[in-house]
Structure formats: structure tokens, C-alpha cells
Amino acid sequence: APALFLPSLAARMPPKAAAKKGKKSAGAADGSDIASTEVQNMMLKSQIEALKVQLADRTAQAMRAEKEKRALQAVVADLKSDFKETSDDTMAITSDMTRQYKAMEEHFMGDINALERQVQELKDELAESRVHYEELQAEKDAVVAAKDEELRALQAKMSDMAAEFAEMLQETLSRMADKIEISSSSWDAADASVPVLSRGGPAARGGAGAGSATEDA
């Protein structure tokens, strides 16, 4: 920066003053040159001091900037490290959650498959039970129909037997009535043949015995 600043100072010299100085006398020119050189030296020294101060400031700023840069680099490094750790933790957590999810999914799928098998087995058992029930129902209906037919046959047989029994009873009662009528006629005839006077004597007793014999006959 000073190397670039010094030519700019020379460029700031007024050219008209240099031309006027050339018109003066030689003695005055030498004194003016010395005075001008001292002024220039003083200005240069002032500029050099200013440049030193400016350089010191720039150097301090550069050092502060470097320090801040290093601090920022350290912060960035820490952030990168934290980010890496966070990324690693996130990846680990994601992997663990993925494993847990897959394990739970497999477990649930196993439970679902087992339940589906149980449902299918129950459906099969229900279908078999329905078939068995229908078979039992058909057998029951057949047995009931057979029993109904047997009952009707028994009722018809009982009706026939009752009719036959009534007929036999009627015949038996008719025969008994006939026998009773015949016996009554025999008694009437026997009573008519016995004499009235001899009923109290031995003849009567003999007649009674004869009558008994006739009744027995």
C-alpha cells in the first residue's frame, strides 16, 4: 500500500509552482529547493507515519479477522462434528426404528396369517357342522316319517282289532243270550212237569233231583 501511495504524492505536486521556481535566481532556487525538499520529507514522514498507523490498524484488523476466521472455522468444525454426530444418531435411530418397524410388521403379519388360518378353519368346521346337521336333520326326518308310518299302521291295526273284538264280543253276547234263553225255556218246562201236591214229599224231592239232573244235563 505505501508503494502505491508515494507516487500519488508526487503526482499531487503542482506543476505551475515548479515552473515559477525555474524563473527565479539560482540562489533563491537552491534555497527554495532545500525548503521544498524538507517540506516534502516532512510530508513524506507524516505520510509514512500515517501509513504505519494505517498498516498497524490493517494488521490488527487482519489479525482480528484471522482470529475471527479461526473462531468461525472452529465453530463450523464443531457444527460439522455436531451435524455428523446428529446425522449418525439420526441414521442409527432411523435404522433402529426401521428394524423395529420391520420386526413389528413381521409379527403382525404372522398374527394376521394365524388369525386368517383360524378363521378359515372355523369356516371349514362350520361348513362340516352344517353338512352334519343337515344329515342329522335328514335322518331325523326319515326316522320321524318311519315312526309316523308305523304309528298309522298300528292305529289301523288297533282299529281292525277293535272292530274284530267288537264283532267277537257281539257274537259272544249273542251266543250267551241264546244259551240264557234256552236255559230259561228248560227251567220253565221242568217247572211245568212237576205235580203240585207231591212237591213237599219224597216224590217231590225225587222230582227235584230229577230236575237237577235234567238241569245238569
CA distances from residue 111 to 76, 117, 119, 123, 124 in whole angstroms, order as listed: 50, 10, 12, 18, 20
Using 50, 70 and 90 to split pLDDT, how confident is the model at 192?
A: low
pLDDT of residue 178: 82
pLDDT of residue 198: 46
- Locate cell 501509513: which residue? 51
pLDDT of residue 56: 87
Task: Name the percent of the chain lying above pLDDT 90.
Answer: 26
Contact call for residues 190 and 215 (beta carbons, < 8 A): yes
pLDDT of residue 215: 43
* First CA to last CA distance, the chain: 187
pLDDT of residue 121: 94
Residue 16 has pLDDT above 80, yes or no: no
Give ∠ CA 170-171-174 in degrees, rounded to 5.
85
Contact call for residues 1 and 39 (beta carbons, < 8 A): no
Contact call for residues 215 and 187 (beta carbons, < 8 A): yes
The pLDDT tens digits for 28-64 are: 555 566 778 888 888 888 888 888 888 888 888 888 8
Task: Name the percent of the chain lying above pLDDT 70.
Answer: 70
**Grid coordinates given for 35:** 525548503
Q: Which amino acid is at 204?
A: A
Which has more pLDDT, 193 or 122?
Answer: 122
Residues in the chain: 217
The pLDDT tens digits for 195-213 are: 544 444 444 444 444 444 4
Phi, psi of 200, rounded to the nearest 5 degrees: -90, -15
Using 50, 70 and 90 to split pLDDT, how confident is the model at 89?
A: confident
The pLDDT tens digits for 124-143 are: 999 999 999 999 999 989 99
Distance CA 207, CA 215 (A): 12
Q: How many CA atoms lie within 13 A of 108 on its CB side?
A: 6
**Grid coordinates given for 26:** 539560482
pLDDT of residue 202: 46
Distance CA 213, CA 215 (A): 5
Contact call for residues 211 and 190 (beta carbons, < 8 A): yes
User: Which secondary-structure segment (H or E) carries 155?
Assistant: helix 26-193
